Amino acid sequence: MEPPPKIGKNIQKLRNARNLTLNVLSERSGVSKAMLSQIESDKVNPTIATVWKIAKGLGVDLPDLLDADGTIKRKFVVNRSEAIKILDTAEHGVTIKVFSPLEMAGDLEIYMLIFDPKSVLSSEPHFPGTEEFLTVIKGSITVQAGENISELHKGDFLAYHADISHTITNNAGTTNAVVHMVVRYAPPPL
């Protein structure tokens, strides 16, 4: 797939709209200032990998750079309830509903966890810098991440690094626990 001929002008337009110099965009994207200059003047056709780096440096989605008119499309993604995926796990008694669309995987993921009484969800360390954010919707749970441990009740919130082994346990013997979870992955180094 070859980028459209206006890609350089689109990059320049978006860079100027953000008041970024070529030096700053070079630092943010990891693409050399000389290469950025050549791309903006349409002297070279960049690879998709290079365009992706530039998009990340500009803080836009790749399609925004590839679009012929160079305008940013505002995100408005609906994931209907019938499209919500339920993950099968080896953990008996834990249902994991995936609310975030597939294209968000590895960046920001949103889940609803439903724990049967006395059930446990154990996780190996995720990628370095990964964080999890929990809000207890119903019941109470105990979360352990490395040496840290805390009991949480309905309405409580917890943020923790998930790049270490961690567990979530429903200690209740007779009631389910429901937890809203957001997983945020650290951005890859530029």
DSSP category for residue 155: T
Lowest mean pLDDT among 42-46, 64-68, 104-108, 126-130: 64-68
Task: Give the tens place of pLDDT for each residue, 135-184.
Answer: 999 999 999 999 999 999 999 999 999 999 999 999 888 999 999 999 99
The pair of three-digit structure tokens given for residue 20, joined into one six-digit string:
């970024």
**Number of folded domains that form the chain:** 2
161 phi/psi in degrees, rounded to 5? -75, 135
The pair of three-digit structure tokens given for residue 157, joined into one six-digit string:
């919130």
- 165 and 110 part of one domain: yes
Domain range spanning residue 107? 81-184
**For the CA atoms of 150, 153, 155, 156, what is the dihedral angle to 10 degrees?**
-10
- 106 and 166 part of one domain: yes
Would residue 153 count as lying in a domain? yes
Most confident option among 50-64, 87-101, 129-143: 129-143
CATH value at residue 45: 1.10.260.40
* SS3 of residue 184 by DSSP: strand
- 58 and 95 part of one domain: no
Closest CA to 54 of 100, 3, 102: 3
CATH value at residue 90: 2.60.120.10
The pair of three-digit structure tokens given for residue 172, joined into one six-digit string:
């209740």
Work out the pLDDT band at 186, boundaries 50, 70, 90. Answer: confident
Would residue 11 count as lying in a domain? yes
